[in-house]
Structure formats: C-alpha cells, structure tokens
C-alpha cells in the first residue's frame, strides 16, 4: 500500500523584500514582506512524494540527483507535517511511522536568485500536506524550509506577516488579492546570469542584520509604511504607486547589502543598465509604466501591465541584442510590436551582444496545485523515474 502525490508550485517575487531574521531556526523574519505569485505553468517546482511501509529510510532527489536528507530545514518540515497530522488525527498512527520518498525538479535554474527555494519548499510541503491529509494552513510549515516559501503557498498577491510570537505561530502568509483581481498585471524576468550565487540569501541577510546600520532604519521606519501603502495600491489597482514602492524597496534592499560588512553585491553592471533603461522609459511617459525589482542575484523582475509588454520587449531586444533570437523570449506568447523609431532615438546605442541570456514572460498565478495526469516523478514502487 502506498500513497503517491504530485504537486506543482509557483515562484513568488517580492515587492517588499524579506531580509533579516529574528529567529534563525524557526525562520522568523524581522519585517513583513509582500509578493506576487507567478504563473506556475511558466516557472514551477514539481514534487512527487510517496509514503510507504516498504521504504527503509527517508530519501530525496532534487533535479535528478540524490541529496542528503540530513538537511535540517527538510527535517523540520517533515517533522512539523507529522506533528500536525498527529494533532489533526488526519492519518492512522501507523502511517506516521512509514518512511517517505521525495523527488523534485525545477523547470528553471536552481539557487540562482530566481526563488527556487520558495517554489521548491512550497511544493514539497503542499505535497506532504496532501499525503498526510492536513487541512490547516501550511504556510508556516513551508516557512521552515525557506522563509520566502510561505508566500508561494498562496496565489495572487501575498503578505507574509512577520508576527511577534516567539514560537512563530503568527508568522504566516495571507492572500491580499487573488490573481483575478488584477489580471492585466504581467511580469518579465530578465535573466542576466543563471549560475549559483556566491552568498546565499540566508548568509547574506545574517550578515546584514549583524553589520548594517541602515538595516534597523529600514525595518523600523521604512517597511511598515511601505507595506501598508503597497497593500492599498494592490487593492485599489494603483499601478503607479505599486511600481514606485517596488523599485524603491528593491533599491533599499541592495543598499543594505552594500552597507553590510564586508559588502554584498548581487547586482551586476547589466542589472544597472536595466535600471537605467526602465527609468528612462518611465520618464518619457507621463506616468510610471514599469517597475523593476531584484532579488539576491543579478536578474531583474519587471512588473508591468499587459499593454506595455510588446513595447518594452521590442525595446529590450533593441538595447540588449542577442545571438540566439529564437530562444530569447520564453514563457507566455506575446504579440510582437515593431519598435517605434522615436523611442529608439531616445535610447542610446545597443549594448554589446548577449548581456541578457533570455527573458521569461509570465503573469500572476495561483498557489500550488495537484498534478492529476499521472506524470509522477516516482514510479508506483516509489523510486525516481528519471535520474541523471
């Protein structure tokens, strides 16, 4: 007797960044954060879990390779799932003694600052929750895997409340609005680099808490006001306000990285060229049209309304020429608009080729969903179907 569940889960990109913990083990943040969940049909983690009396030990495979199950965060997630199941009496006691096999893969680069840990842990925890028939909110369990993962448990626009309790019971994610609230909202991920970053978010934020003087100022004086304002901008669909706060918060997060000692630099020259392009584009319009935000890496996430997508994409193709035009734009289909020559005149000469690797076009999406077409990553005996 076994129990095989497969789920897919989305990435989320924060517009108010989570940076800094008040408890390292429970992954409790020092500030609230707000994010947008992106369409899981474009970028996702896919995870199959299987619980069986036939397994001798808990095992995990990630992106086609076996990983160690001794990872503390992984252990904490499984432990919490089992204790929730015990409290909810959702499965038989014997089921709780069986071992689990987990197989997961991301359809985009892992550990490159593209929120793979968010999608990955949201997926893992949602799949386990389904297998153990847990009914209550699992965002606080996903949080134990990676802080930002708690926001990927919900679709649309999401706020992670930092909470004040020392056991983390009130540090949960809550949906502000679902994806249908603002269907025109689109995102372009500009991939500058897809290699693993040098300093993980966990290490980077610890260093900032310990060494940055600006950090306390941000947490106490800036974030609380920004969170209220951006939540209001989301509920009233005020794009200009949403975009302005998003850009300012990304810039402040990277200023804090630079104020850490020794300094942390996630953005590159190409990232700054993207920022320059977006401000120039916004300045030639009466109102802000596009927002950028950068996580712990050089890649940009642009938030914009649907009508702006073809225009900025043709401009990006002009300014950031590529030697692989067929593979340059991926994700959701777009209608190409011929670049407007007046727009080109305002912009400088194109940069050198291949500063951008590729662009992912996507939109807002739902939270984790179960895959019901039978395309499990583990076979009926609970072993990976495809190992590298």
Ligand X SMILES: Nc1ncnc2c1ncn2[C@@H]1O[C@H](COP(=O)(O)OP(=O)(O)OP(=O)(O)O)[C@@H](O)[C@H]1O
Task: Confirm or reject binding of residue 201 to ligand DP6 (CB under 6 A).
Answer: yes
Task: Write out the two tokens for 301.
Answer: 């996430």
Nearest to 387 by CA among 60, 32, 38: 60
Which listed range, 141-149, 256-264, 283-291, 320-328, lies at the site for ligand DP6 (CB under 6 A)? 141-149
- Least spacing, CB of residue 174 vs ligand DP6, in Å: 15
Query: What is the separation of C-alpha 361 from the centre of its chain, rounded to a whole number of angstroms?
Result: 15
3-state secondary structure of 373: coil
Which listed range, 26-34, 106-114, 332-340, 359-367, lies at the site for ligand X (CB under 6 A)? 106-114
Task: Confirm or reject binding of residue 126 to ligand X (CB under 6 A).
Answer: no
Among 5, 28, 45, 187, binds ligand X (CB under 6 A): 45
Which listed range, 114-122, 157-165, 180-188, 281-289, lies at the site for ligand X (CB under 6 A)? 114-122
Which listed range, 10-18, 134-142, 280-288, 301-309, lies at the site for ligand DP6 (CB under 6 A)? 10-18
Nearest to 293 by CA among 182, 372, 179, 187: 187
Task: Confirm or reject binding of residue 218 to ligand DP6 (CB under 6 A).
Answer: no
Write the burial class of residue 9 (CB in 10 Å: 0-12 exposed, 13-18 middle, 19+ buried). buried
Task: Confirm or reject binding of residue 260 to ligand DP6 (CB under 6 A).
Answer: no
Task: Confirm or reject binding of residue 112 to ligand X (CB under 6 A).
Answer: yes
Among 10, 20, 29, 113, binds ligand X (CB under 6 A): 113
Task: Confirm or reject binding of residue 106 to ligand X (CB under 6 A).
Answer: yes
Buried b (16+ CB within 10 A) or exposed e, 303-330: bbbeebbebbbbbbbebbbbeeeeebbe
| Spatial separation of the C-alpha atoms in residues 238 and 70, rounded to whole Å | 46
Q: What are phi and psi of 6, to 5 degrees?
A: -125, 135
> Mask 108-137, x = binds ligand DP6 (CB under 6 A)?
---------x--------------------
The answer for residues whose C-beta is within 8 angstroms of residue 39's C-beta and 6 or more apart is 10, 332, 362, 363, 364, 365
Task: Confirm or reject binding of residue 202 to ligand DP6 (CB under 6 A).
Answer: yes
């Amino acid at each position: 007797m076994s129990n095989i569940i497969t789920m897919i889960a989305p990435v989320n990109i924060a517009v108010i960044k989570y940076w800094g913990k008040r408890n390292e083990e429970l992954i409790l943040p020092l500030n609230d954060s707000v994010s947008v969940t992106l369409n899981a049909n474009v970028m996702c983690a896919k995870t199959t879990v299987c619980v069986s009396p036939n397994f001798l030990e808990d095992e995990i495979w990630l992106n086609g390779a076996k990983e160690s199950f001794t990872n503390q965060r992984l252990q904490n997630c499984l432990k919490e799932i089992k204790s929730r199941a015990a409290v909810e009496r959702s499965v038989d006691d014997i089921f709780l003694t069986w071992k689990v096999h987990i197989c997961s893969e991301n359809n985009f680069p892992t550990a490159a600052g593209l929120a793979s840990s968010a999608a990955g842990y949201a997926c893992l925890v949602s799949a386990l929750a389904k297998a153990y028939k847990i009914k209550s909110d699992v965002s606080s369990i996903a949080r134990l895997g990676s802080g930002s993962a708690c926001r990927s448990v919900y679709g649309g626009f999401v706020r992670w409340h930092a909470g004040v309790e020392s056991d983390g019971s009130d540090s949960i994610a809550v949906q502000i609005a679902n994806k249908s609230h603002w269907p025109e909202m689109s995102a372009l991920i500009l991939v500058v680099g897809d290699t693993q970053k040098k300093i993980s978010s966990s290490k980077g934020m610890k260093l900032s808490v310990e060494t940055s003087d600006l950090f306390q100022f941000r947490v106490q004086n800036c974030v609380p006001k920004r969170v209220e304002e951006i939540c209001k901008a989301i509920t009233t669909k005020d794009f200009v306000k949403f975009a302005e706060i998003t850009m300012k918060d990304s810039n402040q997060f990277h200023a804090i990285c630079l104020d850490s000692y020794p300094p942390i630099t996630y953005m590159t020259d190409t990232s700054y060229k993207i920022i320059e392009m977006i401000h120039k584009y916004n300045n030639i319009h009466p109102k802000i049209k596009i927002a950028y935000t950068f996580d712990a890496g050089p890649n940009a996430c642009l938030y914009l309304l649907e009508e702006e997508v073809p225009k900025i994409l043709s401009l990006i193709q002009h300014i950031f020429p590529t030697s692989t035009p067929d593979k340059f734009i991926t994700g959701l289909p777009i209608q190409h608009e011929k670049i407007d020559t007046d727009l080109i005149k305002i912009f400088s000469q194109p940069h050198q080729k291949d500063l951008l690797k590729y662009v992912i076009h996507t939109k807002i999406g739902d939270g984790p969903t179960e895959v019901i077409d039978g395309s499990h990553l583990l076979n009926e005996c609970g072993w990976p179907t495809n190992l590298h």
